[in-house]
Amino acid sequence: MTLEEFRLLRDHVYSHCGILIHEDMKFVMERRLWPRLEALGLLDFSAYHRYLRYDIQRTAELEAAVESLTTHETYFFREPAQLKAFCDELLPILEKRNARTRRLRVWSAGCSSGEEAYTVAMLLKDSGRFNDWDVEVYGTDLSRRVLAVARRAEYGPSALRATPPDLLERFFVPAGLNRVRVRDDVKAWVSFGHHNLTDEATSQLLPRTDVVFCRNVMIYFDQAARRRVLAVIRDRLCPGGYLLLGHAENLLSLGADFELVHLRGDLVYRRPDLLGGEGR
């Protein structure tokens, strides 16, 4: 892969989904995309770039390229201190605020293979606060492959490495050798969909939500793409709704449209509620 080919492919991926690949990752891009050239019978990366730009199958192939270039490492009950703050401090606020509608929506943005979305549903069930409510946890991701894994809801030891034993027993059932499946009552609260976080137009199809988990996602974006993603999240958050990021992420120089909230156990962000109302 020449430097010119790298830059053409990098810019094409960036314009599609906002993921920025730095020049020191050129070798990684070459190694990960070479099987796509072989599968299509193309001789070089210039031909591959032309394929992505003009071929009738370009949309599907661009998704395959992004799939090859992205990492989907996650597991259940990741960042437990933040999850504890969510349960102990945010859930009582949400229960009181939405008491009239008895409806709760949580969005796992960049949900990968579903562990985060199912974790949230398990925590909501474990709290006992919302058992007779209209509850939906929805996960979205750019990768159709990981969404298929999420919908299947079967996992092995790596995904369960931080799962408390009591919750493992309560919310999973055996699914073969060293595999478990999420219980049906948890799955009933969770749905998944394909979504590009930088696409403001299609984001209008998403429902308004009370909480957004967008953890370890924006580290892949540059400042301009992060601003687009934050605009989408703010638009989909109910006034007074909360945004939870990964511990390596913050909104410094980006968060003018969000308030920083100091919980006892964590820092989170909130869309200002200018009317100060409860419910929706």
User: Which pLDDT belongs to residue 275?
Assistant: 59
Domain 80-270 has CATH 3.40.50.150: yes
pLDDT digits (tens, 9 = 90+) for 162-195: 999 999 999 999 998 889 999 999 999 999 999 9
pLDDT digits (tens, 9 = 90+) for 91-118: 999 999 999 999 999 999 999 999 999 9
Closest CA to 119 of 148, 90, 56, 162: 162
The model carries a pTM of 0.86
Catalytic site residue from 141, 215, 266, 271? 141
pLDDT digits (tens, 9 = 90+) for 17-68: 778 888 888 898 899 999 999 999 999 999 999 999 999 988 889 888 888 8
pLDDT digits (tens, 9 = 90+) for 114-158: 999 999 999 999 999 999 999 999 999 988 889 999 999 999 999
Domains 3-69 and 80-270 share a fold: no
Residue-range domain boundaries for the chain = 3-69, 80-270
Q: How many CB atoms lie within 10 A of CB 213?
A: 28
Beta carbons of 203 and 236 less than 8 angstroms apart = yes
Q: Which CATH class is domain 3-69?
A: mainly alpha
Pairing of strands 134-141, 103-109: parallel
Active site residue 103: no
Whole-number Cα distances in Å, 172 to 11, 108, 158, 168 = 42, 20, 15, 6
- Beta-bridged to residue 154, according to DSSP, are 181
Tokens of 19: 């993921």
Average pLDDT on 6-10 reads 91
Q: Is 174 helix (H, G, I), strand (E, B) or coil?
A: strand
pLDDT digits (tens, 9 = 90+) for 181-233: 999 999 999 999 999 898 888 888 899 999 999 998 888 888 888 888 999 99
Active site residue 264: no
Beta carbons of 214 and 245 less than 8 angstroms apart = yes
